[in-house]
């Protein structure tokens, strides 16, 4: 068995990395320690790099189609990891989950239709709906004792706006919440009974941490299966977001036809030279790397948890159950939100995601990316301590 070295620090400067090389443009300041964009600093698994290199060696870089083995690798991964049986005709390729969300909104709703999101949540959930000229309807999550839950009491109040769609983040970003089967059944019942289509973004599903289990939305009931579109990708899981390779599964044939008619009609179905081969390599050969990186991420989370309790007890963390992102609460620091943002940038020299970008419910919060070497996590916390103690 290969042992992967996640302690090794990889210098990503000058590689056109958004996380590293876009810090000044985003934060107005250079030399900040980048702990924001949701990609990891670990080397992409060798099997994926090798698959890309094989494509590079091809003497002709022509149009590329997905092979039968590409689809089979997805089917087998979904079966092995999530006990999902998905037929090949229920699957499709999309060049990124955010584009997929946009396709779904535009294919299956009309302008001015209401679309429910549950903030604080991934910023593109907000922007995709707004840019598509649909009406954003908010069902804010309940935050209690550093954990999120869905507000089922508030959901019915949105029915007066006649919502047509709900976009679900499963597992949740930024909180890392792995929704329970019971919560998902309740959501599926509400949406089906009120003719609200569920779009489930499950990009962090395969980053569910030890001790927790991801439940695919479509698996919880027949109502969920027949009233949903699910988007998944190897991008976050195997640190290959730059490849822009994602997929969907839609088990209701009527919904699937509407969606596929839209993507076909707009010529949005094709992947580039590396998209299919790297995904197949990830799902066929990347599992050992994934198991090891999950252990490492979990240890990083424990380190942050211990450090904050010891040195920064006024900064609370929501312990993620999936992914490498930690939702930090600065409410007890006695500072305003703007003061927290400025202190992190100017005194700590840190670049974190501003909680308000996830919705107004993110006020006094920041998102910290710990998908990096332990030494960098330690340095980030030392800087935070120097600024806030």
Task: Please give the pLDDT value at position 229.
Answer: 98
State mean pLDDT over 64-93: 97
Task: Please give the pLDDT value at position 235.
Answer: 98
State mean pLDDT over 245-256: 98
State mean pLDDT over 211-221: 98
Q: Name the 3-class secondary structure at 232.
A: strand
Answer whether the bond into residue 327 is a cis peptide, omega within 30°.
no
Distance CA 375, CA 341 (A): 23
Reported pTM: 0.97
Task: Please give the pLDDT value at position 23.
Answer: 97
| CA angle (205 as vertex; 200, 211 as ends), nearest 5 | 135
Contact 88, 71 (CB under 8 A): yes
Q: Name the 3-class secondary structure at 171.
A: coil
Contacts of 89 (CB under 8 A, 6+ apart): none
pLDDT reading at 74 higher than 90: yes
> Strand 33-34 to strand 350-351: parallel, antiparallel, or no bridges (unpaired)?
parallel
Contact 304, 317 (CB under 8 A): yes
Q: How many CA atoms lie within 13 A of 321 on its CB side?
A: 16
The fold of 59-285 is: 3.40.640
- Cα-Cα end-to-end distance for the chain: 44
DSSP class of residue 344 equals: I
Q: Which residue ranges does the chain devote to CATH 3.90.1150.10?
A: 18-45+287-388
| CA angle (158 as vertex; 155, 160 as ends), nearest 5 | 140
Token code pair at residue 262: 């839209």
> Residue 284: how many CB atoms within 10 A of its CB?
16
Contacts of 229 (CB under 8 A, 6+ apart): 104, 197, 198, 199, 200, 248, 249, 250, 255, 259
N residues, the chain:
389
Looking at every residue in the chain, the average pLDDT score rounds to 97
Distance CA 16, CA 10 (A): 14
Whose tokens are 């620090």? That residue is 9
Distance CA 161, CA 219 (A): 28
Per 3-state DSSP, what percentage of the chain is helix, strand, and coil (rounded to 5)? 45, 15, 40
The model's pLDDT over 294-351, given as tens digits with 9 standing for 90+, comes to 999 999 999 999 999 999 999 999 999 999 999 999 999 999 999 999 999 999 999 9
Closest by alpha carbon to 7, among 45, 34, 39, 43?
43
Contact 303, 377 (CB under 8 A): yes
> Residue 337: how many CB atoms within 10 A of its CB?
17
Contact 181, 215 (CB under 8 A): yes
pLDDT reading at 1 higher than 90: no
State mean pLDDT over 107-136: 98
Element (H, E) at 99: helix 97-108
pLDDT reading at 4 higher than 90: yes
Q: Which residue ranges does the chain devote to CATH 3.40.640.10?
A: 59-285
Contacts of 128 (CB under 8 A, 6+ apart): 98, 101, 102, 105
The model's pLDDT over 142-172, given as tens digits with 9 standing for 90+, comes to 999 999 999 999 999 999 999 999 999 999 9
Closest by alpha carbon to 125, among 174, 167, 188, 170?
167
- Please, is 48 exposed, middle or buried when counting C-beta atoms within 10 Å of its C-beta (0-12, 13-18, 19+)? buried
pLDDT reading at 195 higher than 90: yes
Helices (H), 216-348: 222-225, 253-265, 275-285, 287-311, 337-342
Q: How confident is the model at residue 207 (pLDDT cuts 50, 70, 90)?
A: very high
Contact 207, 39 (CB under 8 A): no
CATH of 18-45+287-388, one of 3.40.50.1170, 3.30.2290.10, 3.30.379.10, 3.90.1150.10: 3.90.1150.10
């Amino acid at each position: 068995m290969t042992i992967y070295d996640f302690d090794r620090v990889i210098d990503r400067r000058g590689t056109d990395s958004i996380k590293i090389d876009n810090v000044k443009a985003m934060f107005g300041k250079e030399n900040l320690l980048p702990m924001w964009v949701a990609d990891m600093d670990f080397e992409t698994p060798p099997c994926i790099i090798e698959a890309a290199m094989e494509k590079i060696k091809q003497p002709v870089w022509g149009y590329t189609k997905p092979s039968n083995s590409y689809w089979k690798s997805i089917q087998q991964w979904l079966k092995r990891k999530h006990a999902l049986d998905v037929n090949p005709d229920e699957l499709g390729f999309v060049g990124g989950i955010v584009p997929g969300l946009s396709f779904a909104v535009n294919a299956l709703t009309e302008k001015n239709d209401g679309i429910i999101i549950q903030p604080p949540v991934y910023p593109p959930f907000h922007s995709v709906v707004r840019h598509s000229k649909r009406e954003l309807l908010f069902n804010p999550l309940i935050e209690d004792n550093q954990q999120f839950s869905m507000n089922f009491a508030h959901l019915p109040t949105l029915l007066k706006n006649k919502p047509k769609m709900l976009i679900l983040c499963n597992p949740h970003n930024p909180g890392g919440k792995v929704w329970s089967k019971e919560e998902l059944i309740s959501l599926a019942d509400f949406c089906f009974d009120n003719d609200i289509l569920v779009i489930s973004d499950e990009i962090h599903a395969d980053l569910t941490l030890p001790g927790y289990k991801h439940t695919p939305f479509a698996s919880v009931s027949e109502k969920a299966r027949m009233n949903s579109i699910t988007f998944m990708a190897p991008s976050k899981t195997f640190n290959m977001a730059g490849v822009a390779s994602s997929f969907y599964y839609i088990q209701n044939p009527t919904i699937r036809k509407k969606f596929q008619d839209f993507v076909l009609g707009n010529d949005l179905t094709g992947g580039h030279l590396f998209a299919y081969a790297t995904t197949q390599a990830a799902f066929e050969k990347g599992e050992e790397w994934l198991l090891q990186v999950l252990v490492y991420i979990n240890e990083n989370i424990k380190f942050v948890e211990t450090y904050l309790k010891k040195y920064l007890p006024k900064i609370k963390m929501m312990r993620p159950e999936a992914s490498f992102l930690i939702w930090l609460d600065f409410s007890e620091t006695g500072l305003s939100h703007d003061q927290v943002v400025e202190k992190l940038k100017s005194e700590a020299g840190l670049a974190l995601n501003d909680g308000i970008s996830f919705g107004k419910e993110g006020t006094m919060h920041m998102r910290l990316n710990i998908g990096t070497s332990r030494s960098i996590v330690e340095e980030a916390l030392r800087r935070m301590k120097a600024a806030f103690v």
